[in-house]
Amino acid sequence: MKTRIAAKNVTFKLQDVQQLAEQNFSAVTMEEWATVCRHAKAVEEEYLSREHKMDSVMERITINADDDDDDDTSESTVSYEDDDIHEVGPIVSDSE
């Protein structure tokens, strides 16, 4: 829908974009809408099928924010059970 509206948007005025949107939405057929819905459902099912994989990756990461067992450092300890993750450093904000 955005592509159709953008292709016809020559004035870049909100009122004209609204009119184009209304014209395009009213022109959508039941078949087009059904196709979009099927696609959205397929994408959602694919995402859900991968969720367990993400859970297993997240379980391998252990973050110890307050590790009292190690007297050598007072900073947070981050350990990874898998060597797939490299060069993890602290998050630095723009204000620092």
**Series of mean pLDDT values for 10-residue runs along the chain (96 residues):** 92 95 94 96 92 76 66 53 58 62
* 79 inside domain: no
* 77 inside domain: no
pLDDT score for 81:
56
Q: Which residue segment(s) compose the domain that 33 sits in?
A: 2-58
pLDDT score for 68:
62
Domains in the chain, number: 1
Torsions phi, psi for 78 (to 5 deg): -120, 125
pLDDT score for 21:
95
Q: What is the CA radius of gyration of the chain?
A: 25
80 beta partners: 61
pLDDT score for 59:
74
